[in-house]
Amino acid sequence: MNIIITGAGKGIGFETAKHASESPNNKVLVICRNILEINKLKRENVKSVEFDLSNIDSYSDLSSIISDYFHSGIDVLINNAGQFLTKSFAETKQGDFEKMLNINLKSPYFLTQALLPFFNKNAHILNISSMGGYQGSLKFPGLSAYSISKGALCTLTEALSAELSELNIKVNALCLGSVSTQMFQEAFPNFEASANAQDMGAYISNFAQTGHLFYNGKILPVSLTIP
């Protein structure tokens, strides 16, 4: 399969890319701000593209690199790159809010749009959301901007699954609970995560390659504990 993973410089995205590229049948392209760690894997079936996803105006350059690499089209896009913010509602500035929406919502929206001509039939777009954005879940003080951005990503998933059905493209979201990464440690310094990045990366990689055979437009919680 031809697989794209965003934000694979570290954490869950890195582990997802590592797992997906273990199969020689897969060709993996990762989009990272920092390609140092991923390049250390030295895998022939992994191409790293150094790119800051906040540069949404340059997505057409990115899509030409991607279409040149995948001559036979894209099978899987994993919108994993994300940023986190802990700030009370009262202190959250417009800039903070925009940063959350830019990376967690606008980036998956416009990257998917830029890549639309290159998806194969029965391709799978997998958005990595959060339990914070899962409707009806327990919410935490200080996480309003982050949770809103992830909740909107879930709505985007549902909307695109309907709109892209005529192209036979499936779109799903996984709402992750706690996974031991730099992001989680900064968010909940006194809490032990219920999953590690390696196991979650393997789960996401497997789901991205098979989940579209069983699910479309689904918002799936992947969580053992709260948070």
Ligand X SMILES: NC(=O)c1ccc[n+]([C@@H]2O[C@H](COP(=O)([O-])OP(=O)(O)OC[C@H]3O[C@@H](n4cnc5c(N)ncnc54)[C@H](OP(=O)(O)O)[C@@H]3O)[C@@H](O)[C@H]2O)c1
Interacting residues toward ligand X by CB under 6 A:
7, 9-13, 32-34, 52-54, 80-83, 103, 128, 130, 176, 178-179, 181-184, 193
At its nearest, how many Å lie between ligand X and the CB of residue 121? 27
Per the CB < 8 A criterion, the answer to whether 23 and 2 are in contact is no
Per the CB < 8 A criterion, the answer to whether 108 and 77 are in contact is no
CA of residue 87 relative to chain centroid, distance? 23
> Which residues, 6+ apart, have CB-to-CB distance to 58 below 8 Å?
51
At its nearest, how many Å lie between ligand X and the CB of residue 83? 5
CA distance 157 to 154: 5
At its nearest, how many Å lie between ligand X and the CB of residue 28? 15
**In terms of CB distance, is 29 or 32 closer to ligand X?**
32
At its nearest, how many Å lie between ligand X and the CB of residue 150? 6
At its nearest, how many Å lie between ligand X and the CB of residue 134? 10
**In terms of CB distance, is 64 or 72 closer to ligand X?**
64
Phi, psi dihedrals of residue 150, rounded to the nearest 5°: -80, -30
**In terms of CB distance, is 36 or 167 closer to ligand X?**
36
**In terms of CB distance, is 69 or 120 closer to ligand X?**
69
CA distances, 70 to each of 140, 213, 216 (Å): 41, 22, 24
CA distance 160 to 28: 23
**In terms of CB distance, is 25 or 135 closer to ligand X?**
135
> Which residues, 6+ apart, have CB-to-CB distance to 98 below 8 Å?
none
